[in-house]
Structure 1
């Protein structure tokens, strides 16, 4: 089965997941492996690396299955408690130190520019409003706003793809049982996570993110930063 937005293919057998790629994806998969190893040593709930197999033809990353259900499958009556659990875990992730991985904003914008240049932006990742505009126009808006974002940057350890399917929950206690799909984990502005999580809560759960933000500890949000990272993210996949 195919899972996530990468070109890797994911299989499950029992309590082990295998993510496999061809030779062109080995470096990216190895980077994800290293991030899983690092996060699993911090005490936050996550998978662990079971094995790594590589050859001239490609590679396979084997990780332990994380118990729980993905956030996008939780019923409506679980949403508020789950939002609070998610807020706490994301705050704990953002409080970690000594992370060896970085996602500098300039590099992320370079990735977006490459995707736009190759005409590889997936329209399904864009809002109805953004689909009415050319990707080059969206990128130009990102570039124009980047100076402000750099001026208020708050570097923390970010998940990098903080969407509901990448957080697993205990269906009974609604505690977060694991953070998965860590290929983009690294030091970045905290709003790169907050922007994705809050828009997911709105789009997938039709929920006011206030309980999440309260548990996270953010009394006031910067809508300008939320908009920036919500616009930037879909331009980086392709």
Structure 2
């Protein structure tokens, strides 16, 4: 583990050298996450998305509770983002899974916090054309993991025979947009709770202006799967549709379906 620290760029290493850390393996992004007492280091393959994430995190300072950038360095292969650590339990923590009456209003509050941000000078636009182009690249280069998709998405008995057919459907069925500040991956592990309230958002790499139904879809699916046993334990007595009641809106299941299907290609 010491060799890993020594291999880091100097501007990152000077902040963390000699400090204890653990490695987070909850996410599925393929990143390496080092967790220190008051900081988090995210190491990813180099891409323009990293620069977007840093730009958004700096823009969000003082607007919503989210990590603050301490240092960002890129080399020939990797991007290194050192940021402050947001305190709190993931909203998929067992405590909240067993208390849906407490959890679901907090999830709705988190979504509304994002909606409340004025986006007129937001520096990153996650337009659907751009997301579909990224999806097309992944399909063309065989980067889609069909084994990680919903059971009824692909295959002989699925809705689509393969990612290429799904991509074509997505291109032909683009929904109208209701733009807001979108987290971009609003699953339960990325919403933190402390002392009965939202303490912050993490994993802001896909944050930007996007359709409000994208975050709703990701949160709804995450809520459903965290309760239905997809990730192991089954929690009884919860209806994920209650999220819409807390949001004060009628569910647009066509848009929710669209964004869940789009996410299958990432």
Shorter-chain TM-score bucket reads 0.7 to 0.9
Per-residue CA deviation, residues 68-113 of structure 1 (Å, 9 max, x unaligned), is 1112223333222111011012112022113221111111111111
The answer on 1:209 being equivalent to 2:240 is yes
Aligned to 2:204: 182
- Is 1:129 the equivalent of 2:152? yes
The TM-score normalised by the length of structure 1 is 0.87
CA distance in 2, matches of 1:190, 1:21: 27
Tell which structure's C-alpha radius of gyration is larger: 2
- Mark the runs of 5 or more structure 2 residues left unpaired by the alignment: 1-22, 156-160, 229-237
Contact 1:37 1:49 in 2 (8 A): yes
Aligned to 2:110: 89
Q: Deviations over 1:15-59 (max 9, x none)?
A: 11111235xx153322212222222221x2211112233445644
- Aligned partners of 1:72 and 1:165 also within 8 Å: yes
TM-score (norm 2): 0.78
| Unmatched tracts of structure 1, length 5 or more | none
1:62 aligns with 2:82: yes
Shift of 1:130: 1.1
| RMSD of aligned alpha carbons | 1.9
Task: Tell me: higher relative CO, structure 1 or 2? Use CA pairs within 8 A at least 6 residues apart.
Answer: 1
Partner of 1:231: 261
Query: CA–CA distance in 1 between the matches of 2:44 and 2:152?
Result: 34
In 2, the alpha carbon distance for the partners of 1:120 and 1:113 equals 10
Separation in 1, partners of 2:242, 2:153:
28
Instruction: Output the CA distance in 2 between the equivalents of 1:211 and 1:16.
Output: 35
Write out aligned runs for 1:1-238 (5 A): 1=23, 4-21=27-44, 25=46, 27-42=48-63, 44-56=64-76, 58-75=78-95, 76-97=97-118, 98=120, 99-132=122-155, 133-146=161-174, 149=175, 152-170=176-194, 172-173=195-196, 175-206=197-228, 207-218=238-249, 220-235=250-265, 237=266
Q: Which has the higher helix share?
A: 1
How far did 1:12 drift? 1.5
Report how many aligned residue pairs link the two structures.
226
- Cα distance per residue 1:104-132 (max 9 Å; x no partner): 11111111111111111112431111131
Q: Distance in 1 between matches of 2:148 and 2:30?
A: 16
